[in-house]
Amino acid sequence: MSSAIKQNIPSAIVLFLVALPLCLGIAQSQGAPPIAGLITGIVGGIVVGALGASPLSIAGPSAGLSMVVISGIAATGGFQAFSVAVIIAGAIQMGLAWLKFGMFSKFIPGSVIRGLLAAVGIIIVLKQIPHVFGYDGDFIGDLQFTQGDGRNTFTELWFMTGYMNATTFLISAVSLSGMLVWEKQIATRYKRLAAVPGALVAVVLGIAVNELAGHVAWLNQVGESHLLRLPGNIGPKDLFSHFYTLNFAQQLQKPEIWKTAVVISLLASTKSLIGLEASDKIDPQRRVCDKNRDLLAQGIGNVLCGLFGGLPLTTVLIGTIANAKAGATSRISVIIHGLLLLAATLLIAPFFKLIPLTTFAVIIAVVGYRLTSYTVFKEQWVAGREHFLPFLATFVAVIFTDIITGAAIGFLVALAFILKGTYQKGFYSSQQNNVYTIRLGDSISFIHRAGLSEELRKIPSGSRVNLIADSTQSVHHDIAEVINEFQAGAQNRQISIVKNNIPYIPDRKDLKSLKNVTYRKMLYGNRQWVEESLARDRLYFEKLARGQAPQILWIGCADSRVPPNEITKTQPGEIFMHRNIANLVVHTDLNMLSVLQYAVEVLQVKQVIVCGHYECGGVATAMKNADVGLVNNWLRQIKEVYSANVAELERIGDTKMRERLLVELNVREQVRNLAMTSIIQKAWKKRQLEIHGWVVDLGTGYIKELPISLNGASDLEPIFRYKV
């Protein structure tokens, strides 16, 4: 643990120096008290850092939420009322995490995330240039194209030329040079100094140059407007005083509070998921975090931000990138940076008021530069246009709009390629002489309706059409409608249609009720089964009609999920079967006894299998005290099994596990009940006959063979042995 802390301290300092001006600048731009931004940074570092899953991502105030915050404060009637909306938004985020909303991050294509990161690197550098030359019109940390001062990323570069300051440029040059020399030369040569990050050296040099500038005739010391402005005289009680001003009873009655909360929760969650996905991409160890856990942590963080007077928090991309590029290995870096923000707010605020904003701009610009690489453009180009175009669209859109809008545009371009690929693979057509073959792919859906309809329309009269399906399960309703319309007109056009492997397609009269569809589907399935069977063996039904000689008698549950032939991959004629609720062998059940006698004495089966299954409704009902009418009498057999094994069963605390054991005990009991019949015992006197107990696990499909197998009356107590 101590080595991990030591390893993450340098990155925590860099992250702190990036986060500090961001927290203050964003709070100022959103019309909130400066302390609000710091509270959000502290909560994002300490609380979200401790509870979250992502090893590198940072949560804090976001410039991307500026419009929502500004309009929210106005709509709710002030910052105190807005804080209640932030609390509710946090609770909604916690609910979204419970609903697994984080899974949607996996639908963001990798090319979109790479385009976003490449654009953010460029934006970070461009946005810092005015600060480097002495113009601080926009706040540090803004990533949006359109700025609060009415200008944009590019017009700001021209506008700054009227405000260029020699002192700030000198501070920038010295800070940048000192930072690079320290990292590239000194820190690599002297290992003991490697723990001191270059960003901290840049801060010290920036303060020193600014102080010296006041003593040089041709330079001027930069004024307070170009220095970091921390709120002064803040004590611990100031961090908690906001809580006592909140009037929940009054604010919760305002519809505007709830509307603002929903908007904040959805926008913050979406931005967070994009940021978390980007964090995974830049993680050197390629770790994939649990997005739902991070969403839950941020929900808790937003509740606390609202209570203590902070702004809504979300994943901060600049901070995340800075943390990763500074060499962070775990969330310890995030937590330490939160503690440093807390210390800066309460203990050492006067020192930070000496730092020029241009020094912070240099540190952040270096972060952006290290993120940007031309090789990513080459890699996406080589990957193909279906990857390059979404990457490029995202890159351009993020630069000229904002992160969420840019990612959405990139996603739509990627989606267009996905839809195009799916459209092309929906169906295939070919022609040989006057025979047309139409093959319906597994992925055919409503988007192929127009194409398939046109393909069928162009088939000339008098042709033969082979319709083939890759999937035998079902056909999309819109495709079924196209095929029905084609069939309806085919007779008039003398077109003959041969279907191969085509699932049931209901016509309009069938669609009048679900009953009709189910009924007709079974009849259609029968015809399809006949055709497929004859295709394999033209004498199949002739052989089947000659008689049966099954080797197995199956006594199983009537549950529709355990069809014997399908789960054992056997053919008609191989298993003689009897099924009832919970696969019971009851000595008064004449139906079962008749089946047993016929199978053993006439068909001469060699094995009898009693097969139960987990998740059996009969067994589950027998374990309860509910009155289920006539079925009570039938299920009493299972209750007797429970009573005989009550000590073993009730040692199991988990109800589901107890039910599974009762399923097995029930099968074992029915195997013994079979052995107690005179029918079985007579057969044992004459020949070999085995009785087995099986259980099907519906969760896996596999059959479990129970450790019970009887092949003679000697396995029974003497009282149950008949003199046959």
Q: Name the CA radius of gyration of the chain, rounded.
A: 37
Q: Strands 552-557, 607-613: parallel, antiparallel or unpaired by DSSP?
A: parallel
Is 23 annotated to bind ligand?
A: no
With a CB cutoff of 8 Å and minimum separation 6, the contacts of 294 are: 48, 52, 53, 54, 57, 102, 272, 276, 315
581 DSSP 8-state letter: G
Given the residues 289, 305, 611, 616, select the one marked as catalytic.
616
The tokens of 721 are what? Answer: 């042995």
CA angle 52, 58, 62 (to 5 degrees): 120
With a CB cutoff of 8 Å and minimum separation 6, the contacts of 20 are: 41, 228, 341, 344, 352, 360
Question: b/e map of 400-427 (b: 16 or more CB within 10 Å)?
Answer: bbbbbebbbbbbebbeebeeeeebeebb
Alpha carbon distances (Å) from 680 to 309, 388, 550, 604, 635: 81, 73, 17, 11, 24
The tokens of 639 are what? Answer: 């209750």
Spatial separation of the C-alpha atoms in residues 715 and 674, rounded to whole Å:
12
Alpha carbon distances (Å) from 130 to 134, 171, 322, 391: 6, 13, 20, 28
Spatial separation of the C-alpha atoms in residues 128 and 632, rounded to whole Å:
78
CA angle 19, 21, 27 (to 5 degrees): 100
Q: Strands 496-500, 464-469: parallel, antiparallel or unpaired by DSSP?
A: parallel
Given the residues 242, 557, 578, 692, select the one marked as catalytic.
557
The answer to whether 387 is a known catalytic residue is no
Spatial separation of the C-alpha atoms in residues 117 and 102, rounded to whole Å:
20
Given the residues 283, 559, 668, 672, select the one marked as catalytic.
559
310 DSSP 8-state letter: P
User: Minimal CA–CA distance to 167: which of 394, 359, 313, 339?
Assistant: 359
Is 387 annotated to bind ligand?
A: no
Spatial separation of the C-alpha atoms in residues 709 and 688, rounded to whole Å:
13
Alpha helices by DSSP H, listed for 58-197, are 66-76, 79-98, 110-132, 153-159, 166-181, 187-189
Residue type, 380: Q
Given the residues 448, 613, 672, 692, select the one marked as catalytic.
613
The answer to whether 559 is a known catalytic residue is yes
Is 559 annotated to bind ligand?
A: yes
With a CB cutoff of 8 Å and minimum separation 6, the contacts of 215 are: none
Is 616 annotated to bind ligand?
A: yes
The answer to whether residues 159 and 137 touch, using CB atoms and an 8 Å cutoff, is: yes
Residue type, 557: C
CB-based contacts of 473-478 (< 8 A; 24+ apart in sequence): 473/503, 474/503, 474/504, 475/440, 475/444, 475/502, 475/503, 475/505, 476/444, 476/445, 476/446, 477/446, 478/445, 478/446, 478/449
User: Minimal CA–CA distance to 206: which of 142, 107, 131, 100?
Assistant: 131
Spatial separation of the C-alpha atoms in residues 190 and 198, rounded to whole Å:
13
DSSP-assigned states of every residue in 278-298: HHHHH-TT-----HHHHHHHH
Residue type, 298: Q
The answer to whether residues 317 and 123 touch, using CB atoms and an 8 Å cutoff, is: no
User: Minimal CA–CA distance to 230: which of 18, 23, 45?
Assistant: 23
The answer to whether 613 is a known catalytic residue is yes
Q: Which residues sit in the known binding site for Zn(2+)? A: 557, 559, 613, 616
Catalytic (active-site) positions: 557, 559, 561, 613, 616
Q: Which residues sit in the known binding site? A: 557, 559, 613, 616
